[in-house]
Amino acid sequence: MCGIVGYYGPKDPKEVIVNGLRALEYRGYDSAGVAILHQGEFKRVRAEGKLVHLEERLKEEVFDGHLGIGHTRWATHGLPIERNAHPHCVDGVSIVHNGIIENYAELRESLRAQAVNFQSDTDSELVAHLIAQQIKVGKNLLSAVLEVLPQLEGAYSILAVSKDQPNEMVAFKYGPPLIVGLASDATLVASDIQAIVPHTREVIFLEDQEVAHICGSQVQILDSRGEERSRTPVHIDWTQERAEKQGYPHFMLKEIFEQPRAVAQALAPHLDLENHRVKLKVELEESFLQSLERVFIVGCGTSFYAAMAGEYMIEGLARIPVEVEIASEFRYRNPILPANSLVVVISQSGETADTLAALRLVKEQGVRALSICNVPNSSIDREAQAHLYMNAGVEIGVASTKAFVSTLALLNLLAISLAKAKSGGELKAEPDLVQGLLSLPSHMETVLVHEKFFAEAAQTLKSFRGFLYMGRGINYPIALEGALKLKELAYMHAEGYAAGEMKHGPLALIDSEMAIIMLAPKDGLYEKTLSNLEEAKARGGQIISIGSGDDERLRQLSQHYLALPQTHWMMMPLLEVIPLQLLAYHVAESLGHDVDQPRNLAKSVTVE
């Protein structure tokens, strides 16, 4: 997840771009850079680390042009060092990129066979080379982009400029957001609205596979074949309250869209990007982890469902027995905790009364406790012997969203670390697992593109008598979390089930007024899940299925099918939960409910 800003207009591009990047720094802060026209060439300035380091380098820089692009980065391909920082410049072409080019290895090999010299380790640089090659054979910037588009696979938003066309920008996307701002004498492009609203309230939100051709202050929107599309700009009306919410109507929707950044922040302290290794920063000795015989995970509500997903991760990867329990039950059942055990307690606030009591019970028995919290120095954080931090940022909406996905990210890291400890420090799958984790923020942004689908579908969904959420394996706790969100926000009947339990009761509920939300990614239980879906369809259930990739079988079985990017089974829950959050949010909003402060609920449950 990265921040993109582009500007053409009469103001100083350096000032406009840097101010825009400052508004977007939450999207990436391991490096930053700009490329701005000066004396007919794009002068590039880059710096490692936070934006302040780039600002320091730019203090004495002067540019005489009126066109420029800028970028703040969170590394996926290549170390967070200056040579990998954006913009990438090749033969007069400069680009900035957010996302992942999934076929980068194939493209890199093809370019290497053509004796191309690479200046970085990134997938992004390849796009600059491909565009530059087309311009060399006589194409203009727009034609070059249209030629390159079919070669790219993955999730990306890209802004390109060329020194040969000093008043033009071409923006194109598939997945992560890209917005064009239209001022009377200027045009801006950015990956988020905050960078645009200081200059204009008239914007065009690019759709997937659309191309924006900016020529001066004129903007033309095309499809991927170059056919012009008619688009009406949207007026952004920000009140003071909406400014606090960064333009979103509710804090919860803002926090849903902050989840890619939250996951990146949760992962960042624990990843060795140079070697693609997990180095968990936690106060647990390697010898203790090697001798570990059992793990207990305790939480309430959403934290409990994250714990359930963690059980699948740890047992599946590290082969250590795991017990998961609701904190209010755990504290009263006089649990037996073997000496070589680890108890993981999860609480967003760090003040959840039952979870805090469970932690104190564990300490009384002399067993090590690891807290996963979002609030440093909270009660649970202070009292646990070991600590992991969600780093999700402040979560104002009562229904938890970004704290949940941050917890799932940390549980992935914990499972990998325990598997390494149990195998003597080596885990063959570790580099691939780390790459999967690094890809998550971009994949999550791809999923967020479907938000408008749920906004439209809510008008029909709100009339359903009830909802059944189903999944198998690690998808089962995500079904439970999805049902909880709808109950919390929309006050509707919703239940989560293990799909294999359908014949043991839930089938009696299914009719044409019951919505079935089935999580069915292509994993080891895919065929069995499809069999359960057939049973639901035969009883007249209205089916919304969520799977991975293009899946014609799911599409035929469902009224609506939502395709998610394919990733490792341990990471799939972080993608699956997003559409469930959006569904609950939009159904509740369409019913006129207070989404941020649902009735009868509080953000932090500090009493029993």
The pTM is what? Answer: 0.81
Look at residues 1, 37, 30, 334 and name the one whose alpha carbon lies nearest to residue 17: 37
Q: Is the pLDDT of residue 28 over 90?
A: no
Residues in the chain, overall count:
608
Q: How many angstroms separate the Cα of 483 from the Cα of each of 441, 501, 603?
A: 24, 16, 18
Give the pLDDT score at 603.
Answer: 63
How far is residue 294's CA from residue 128's CA, in Å, rounded to a whole number? 51
Q: What angle do CA 461, 206, 213 make, to 5 degrees?
A: 160
Q: Which whole number is the average pLDDT over 229-246?
A: 75
| Region of residue 9 (left: phi > 0; alpha: psi -120 to 50; beta: else) | left
Q: What are all long-range contacts of 140-147, with beta carbons under 8 Å and residues at least 24 apart?
A: 140/164, 140/165, 141/93, 141/165, 141/168, 141/170, 142/168, 142/170, 142/211, 142/213, 142/222, 142/226, 143/226, 145/170, 145/172, 145/211, 146/211, 146/222, 146/224, 146/225, 146/226
* % the chain with pLDDT above 90: 65
Give the pLDDT score at 606.
Answer: 47
Q: Which whole number is the average pLDDT over 141-155?
A: 94
Q: What digits encode the pLDDT tens for the residues 424-452?
A: 888 999 999 999 999 999 899 989 988 88
Pairing state of beta strands 466-471 and 514-519?
Answer: parallel
Q: What digits encode the pLDDT tens for the residues 180-193?
A: 999 999 999 998 88
Locate 48 and state its tokens: 């490692």
Active site residues: 2, 603
How far is residue 341's CA from residue 320's CA, in Å, rounded to a whole number? 10
Pairing state of beta strands 67-73 and 210-215?
Answer: unpaired
Q: How many angstroms separate the Cα of 125 from the Cα of each of 45, 209, 213, 475?
A: 16, 20, 21, 36
Q: What are phi and psi of 462, to 5 degrees?
A: -65, -15
Q: Is the pLDDT of residue 604 over 70?
A: no
Q: Which residues of 76-92 are buried (b: 16+ CB within 10 A; e: fewer)?
A: bbbbbbeebbbbbbbeb
What contacts 272, CB < 8 A, 6 or more positions away? 278, 279
Q: What digits encode the pLDDT tens for the residues 528-540?
A: 888 888 877 777 7
Using pLDDT thresholds of 50, 70 and 90, give the confidence band for residue 238: low
Judge contact between 372 and 355, C-beta under 8 A.
no
Question: What is residue 543's three-state secondary structure?
Answer: strand
Q: What digits encode the pLDDT tens for the residues 407-420?
A: 999 999 999 999 99
Give the pLDDT score at 75.
Answer: 78
Element (H, E) at 471: strand 466-471
Give the pLDDT score at 154.
Answer: 87
DSSP secondary-structure letter at 150?
Answer: G
Give the pLDDT score at 589.
Answer: 92
Domains and CATH numbers, the chain: 3-237 (3.60.20.10), 252-440 (3.40.50.10490), 449-590 (3.40.50.10490)
Give the pLDDT score at 239.
Answer: 58
Give the pLDDT score at 80.
Answer: 85
Q: What digits encode the pLDDT tens for the residues 129-138?
A: 999 999 999 9
How far is residue 189's CA from residue 185's CA, in Å, rounded to a whole number? 14
Q: Which amino acid is at 9?
A: G
Bridge partners of residue 582, in order along the sequence = none
**Average pLDDT along the chain:** 90
Q: Is the pLDDT of residue 218 over 80?
A: yes
Half-sphere exposure of 39 (CA within 13 A, CB side): 3
